[in-house]
């Protein structure tokens, strides 16, 4: 006989699974591009990322009066990441430099372009989902922060996770940026921060659960599981105060 689950059973299930996974606890690891900003800085500026997926390709097959969809392959949809733009324009220059290494302008007078070998511009991309650890306050409410000649009162209460362990890892093999969708400038949005979206294509991907023995801190972002949220709040407060 069917018996509906109780709230206590649900709470027990959530507790046994170490809580629910959060969409704002993540880390992306990009490759080092010659002459561009560091991958560590780029991971801080990534405001969102779509996870890799897989679509099974099918073909119709008639079986008498019945028609069945038979699988014959798969395709990997592109992965997109959105990045915040700083005033030094290093975020734009990172991806423009990467794309310039894919289709290269020649030095001849005709200004022709040639396509580079894939080994020279394809790199692995890493996406991690983080598991929140214990946290310590790094900014108290009504904290005065002096940025050069600008003194800002941040009415915030921000915690930074001190563990931020990764519990799942996606590896995108031989990835490169296929397109960059830049933002639209407008004089009607004075408080909006410039962001743009990059579409990545790749050969294949695989995901893995990181077991206890494999869990570890993933770069500087993982030392604060809420790093992305911290930068959002700090930057928005800065822009709103100017």
Q: How do residues 124-152 score in pLDDT, each as one tens digit?
A: 999 999 887 644 444 444 455 444 444 44
Mean pLDDT to the nearest integer, 2-14: 80
The first and second tokens of residue 74, run together, are 């798969």
Q: How confident is the model at residue 88 (pLDDT cuts 50, 70, 90)?
A: very high
Mean pLDDT to the nearest integer, 179-206: 89
pLDDT at 27 over 60: yes
CA distances from 79 to 179, 197, 198, 234 (A): 11, 10, 8, 27
Signed CA dihedral, 93, 96, 101, 105: sign only = negative
Q: Do 80 and 199 meet the contact criterion of CB atoms below 8 Å apart?
A: yes
Q: How confident is the model at residue 240 (pLDDT cuts 50, 70, 90)?
A: low
pLDDT at 87 over 90: yes
Listed range (88-92, 200-204, 237-241) with the worst mean pLDDT:
237-241
213 against 7, higher pLDDT: 7
Residue 232 confidence (pLDDT): 52
Residue 197 confidence (pLDDT): 96
pLDDT at 192 over 60: yes
Mean pLDDT to the nearest integer, 213-234: 46
Residue 189 confidence (pLDDT): 66
pLDDT at 9 over 50: yes
Q: How confident is the model at residue 223 (pLDDT cuts 50, 70, 90)?
A: very low
Residue 65 confidence (pLDDT): 87
Residues 6+ apart with CB under 8 A from 13: none
Residue 133 confidence (pLDDT): 63
Instruction: Report the alpha-carbon distance of residue 216 to residue 233 in Å, rounded.
Output: 26
**3 state SS of 35:** coil
Mean pLDDT to the nearest integer, 225-233: 46
pLDDT at 238 over 80: no
The vertex-116 CA angle with 112 and 121, nearest 5°, equals 135
pLDDT at 46 over 70: yes
């Amino acid at each position: 006989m069917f018996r509906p689950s109780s709230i206590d059973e649900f709470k027990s299930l959530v507790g046994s699974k170490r809580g629910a996974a959060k969409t704002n606890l993540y880390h992306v690891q990009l490759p080092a591009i010659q002459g561009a900003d560091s991958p560590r800085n780029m991971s801080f500026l990534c405001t969102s990322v779509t996870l890799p997926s897989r679509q099974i390709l099918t073909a119709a097959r008639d079986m008498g009066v019945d028609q069945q969809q038979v699988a014959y392959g798969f395709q990997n949809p592109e992965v997109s990441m959105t990045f915040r733009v700083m005033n030094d324009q290093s975020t734009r220059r990172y991806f423009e430099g990467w794309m310039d290494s894919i289709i290269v302008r020649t030095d001849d007078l005709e200004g022709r372009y040639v396509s580079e070998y894939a080994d020279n511009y394809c790199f692995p991309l890493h996406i991690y989902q983080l598991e929140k650890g214990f946290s310590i306050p790094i900014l108290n409410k009504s904290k005065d922060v002096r940025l050069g000649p600008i003194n800002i009162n941040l009415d915030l209460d921000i915690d930074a996770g001190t563990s931020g362990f990764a519990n799942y890892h996606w590896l995108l093999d031989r990835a490169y940026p296929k397109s960059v969708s830049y933002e639209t400038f407008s004089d009607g949005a004075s408080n909006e921060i410039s962001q743009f979206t990059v579409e990545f294509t790749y050969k294949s991907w695989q995901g893995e659960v990181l077991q206890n023995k494999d869990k570890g801190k993933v770069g500087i972002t993982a030392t604060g599981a809420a790093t992305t949220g911290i930068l959002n709040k700090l930057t928005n407060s800065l822009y709103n105060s100017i």
